[in-house]
Amino acid sequence: MESSEFAELESNGVVQAAKEHYEKYDNVTVSENPHPLYGDYEDEEDSMKFQLQKHIDCITDNPDMDILVIFEFQRTIVYLSSQQAFKDFKSLLPKKIDRSDTEKLTFGKVYPDSLEMCPTSSSFKQRYNLFFRNTPFKKPESQVGLMLLVLEQYISKIKKNKAFDLVETIGSCLYDIVLTILFGEEFHKNIGKINYKYSDGRKYKTKFEEGLAQVSLDCIENGSDITSGLCPHINLKSEVDPYKRDQENIDEIYRVLTEFLTKNDTQSEFSCPLMGDILDPDSIKDYDPSELKNDLFLLIDAASGTLMLTIPSVLLTLKRNPEIWDKLYQELEKNGVIEEASKKNAFETDEGVKTILECEYLTYVIKEVMRLYPPTVGSSPYVANEEVTVCGVDISKDTQIFLNIASQHYNPKIWHNPLEFIPERFDPESELYYIPGTEDPRPVTSFIPFSFGKRKCAGDNYAMTALKVFVAYILIRVEFKIESKILSNQDYILGLDAESSLKVTITKKYG
């Protein structure tokens, strides 16, 4: 972009005009000093911590805030930040406010025609009913045996006293599991490898699940950079690197998957006998093949994407809080998890699986980590289809709208000492479970790491089960260390817009 174009954008005063509009309202907090061109953009390495801290500061200073307004380059971003704002939001769905497709610039680039990007129409409902209601992820407890089998295979391959990236390894493991659930145990033998193109321009033969994990991270990183922010059309057109390279890798992944899905039936554009339990032949007839493959990738991502960051985040937080680690380990021992793990056919029975799933303190720990460090500060994006009013605030057509996850997780009127790591706050028998100064439980929408409503994360139940299984098994199976400089750096957090790597070293294995 030429310097004259930058000057023209600045002279338009788009950011300033929006800022002045929202500053008229007492129940709105507006970003104080946005740049006229860049808005509140920060270097992507610091963006998650910057965003999270900004939301924490705003809700701490004004816990009665209904709306937070920030600016991403020339775009006004409205975060709905109160229970009343959520109620107004729900009343405006889906006619006046509906899902936006701006995630096509980041991880949504992998599945641009999926349900995630689709407006809430009759077509959306039909596709959802055909696909997501029938997936095996609806009963995740039935997949625990497979989760542990694959996780153990990965652990057994890791060398002791050699540093490795926990996020990358967990990501590959999760994708391995979900692909096996969808396509059967023979999938990894029959699926071809991906010719993955890296930033040096070279292509390397890569396992399908590893390429899928990598392209999601690449799209998030590249879609969050300054070029994509200022000129999103450059990203969408994919005509120059790194966006062109990302699209080439996505096309390669789709090519390899399509070959696998169609090789058993040359008469059909889409055939997958292994998915017979999910979609019957009549359902497949009603499904556009491209949309179906997009929805498959959405489902795979929903069951893997944020988990690859959340599981390491839980382990990192436990390392920083050894007293919580000890208390959790005692629960695992008391519930029989350690004894079950020592058996020859460990966790193959319902009773064996229950030893993990019924660990209440484990649930509290996981929820508290997700409260403090949500995968992202806001929900998936929505857009105002026309001018709307929320909590008395006029919001113009085409404005991007998010549900403010961070503000709900840190509101001092809802949570006791919200800046502290206290898993007990999720224990119904604890006084910390209730709204401060009352005997009233917190609103359901005060804890929304998976968002809420009909458009919440499709893999939330599966995610919670996988979190419990992975964290519990890793704690009893290995001892590991993390560099002291990372442990002591409280600003080092994992998230979609934050750090996406965590180097760990296994020092001891049990069993």
Predicted local distance difference test score (pLDDT) of residue 4: 44
pLDDT class of 241 with cuts at 50, 70, 90 = very high
pLDDT class of 393 with cuts at 50, 70, 90 = very high
107: tokens are 């991880």
Based on C-alpha coordinates, what's the Rg of the chain? 23
Residue 271 predicted with pLDDT over 80 = no
Predicted local distance difference test score (pLDDT) of residue 477: 96
pLDDT class of 324 with cuts at 50, 70, 90 = very high
Predicted local distance difference test score (pLDDT) of residue 278: 54
What residue type is 291 in one-letter code? E
* Average pLDDT across the chain, whole number: 88
* pLDDT tens readout for residues 417-443: 999 999 999 999 999 999 999 999 999
Q: What is the mean pLDDT of residues 144-168?
A: 95
Ordered structural domains, the chain, with CATH: 3-105+379-403 (3.30.43.20), 127-142+167-302 (no CATH), 311-377+416-509 (1.10.630.10)
CA angle 435, 441, 444 (to 5 degrees): 110
| Interacting residues of 139 by C-beta distance below 8 A, sequence separation 6+ | none
Residue 403 predicted with pLDDT over 60 = yes
- Cβ atoms of 331 and 361 within 8 Å: the answer is yes
Predicted local distance difference test score (pLDDT) of residue 92: 97
d(CA 330, CA 140): 25
* pLDDT tens readout for residues 352-363: 999 999 999 999
Q: Which residue has the higher pLDDT, 3 or 460?
A: 460
394: tokens are 């006029």
Predicted local distance difference test score (pLDDT) of residue 49: 60
Predicted local distance difference test score (pLDDT) of residue 306: 85
Q: What is the mean pLDDT of residues 341-345?
A: 89
Residue 55 CB neighbours (<10 A): 25
Kindly write down the DSSP assignment for every residue of 340-399, as one continuous string.
Answer: HHTSTTTT-SHHHHHHHHT-HHHHHHHHHHHHHS-SSSB-S-EEESS-EEETTEEE-TT-
d(CA 329, CA 119): 45
d(CA 128, CA 505): 42
Lowest-confidence region among 20-29, 136-145, 239-248, 345-354: 136-145
Kindly write down the DSSP assignment for every residue of 190-249, as one continuous string.
Answer: HSPPEEEE-TTS-EEEE-HHHHHHHHHHHHHHHHTSHHHHH-HHHHHHT-STTHHHHHHH
Predicted local distance difference test score (pLDDT) of residue 270: 45
Predicted local distance difference test score (pLDDT) of residue 91: 96
412: tokens are 């001092």
- Cβ atoms of 97 and 399 within 8 Å: the answer is no
d(CA 390, CA 294): 33
Residue 12 predicted with pLDDT over 60 = no
Predicted local distance difference test score (pLDDT) of residue 283: 59
Q: What is the mean pLDDT of residues 43-55?
A: 67
pLDDT class of 458 with cuts at 50, 70, 90 = confident
pLDDT class of 269 with cuts at 50, 70, 90 = very low
Four-residue CA torsion sign, 476, 168, 486, 61: negative
Quick one: what percent of the chain has pLDDT higher than 70?
Answer: 90
Lowest-confidence region among 123-127, 139-143, 235-239: 123-127
pLDDT class of 286 with cuts at 50, 70, 90 = low
Predicted local distance difference test score (pLDDT) of residue 280: 57
d(CA 167, CA 385): 38
pLDDT class of 497 with cuts at 50, 70, 90 = low
Predicted local distance difference test score (pLDDT) of residue 234: 96
Residue 39 predicted with pLDDT over 60 = yes
Predicted local distance difference test score (pLDDT) of residue 275: 52
Q: What is the mean pLDDT of residues 392-417?
A: 97
Is the peptide bond between 94 and the residue preceding it cis, with omega within 30 degrees of 0? Answer: yes
Task: Map residue 135 onto helix, strand or coil.
Answer: coil
pLDDT class of 487 with cuts at 50, 70, 90 = very high
Residue 137 predicted with pLDDT over 80 = no
Residue 8 predicted with pLDDT over 50 = no
181, 196, 356: which is closest to 274 by C-alpha?
Answer: 181
pLDDT class of 48 with cuts at 50, 70, 90 = low
Four-residue CA torsion sign, 386, 387, 392, 393: positive
Q: Which residue has the higher pLDDT, 304 or 314?
A: 314
Q: Which residue has the higher pLDDT, 225 or 357?
A: 357
Does 457 carry a binding-site annotation? yes
311, 295, 471, 496: which is closest to 405 by C-alpha?
Answer: 496
Predicted local distance difference test score (pLDDT) of residue 455: 85
Residue 161 predicted with pLDDT over 90 = yes
7: tokens are 């000057």
Is the peptide bond between 242 and the residue preceding it cis, with omega within 30 degrees of 0? Answer: yes
Give the DSSP H/E element, type plus range, for residue 98.
strand 97-99
pLDDT class of 456 with cuts at 50, 70, 90 = confident
What residue type is 98 in one-letter code? D
Predicted local distance difference test score (pLDDT) of residue 53: 86
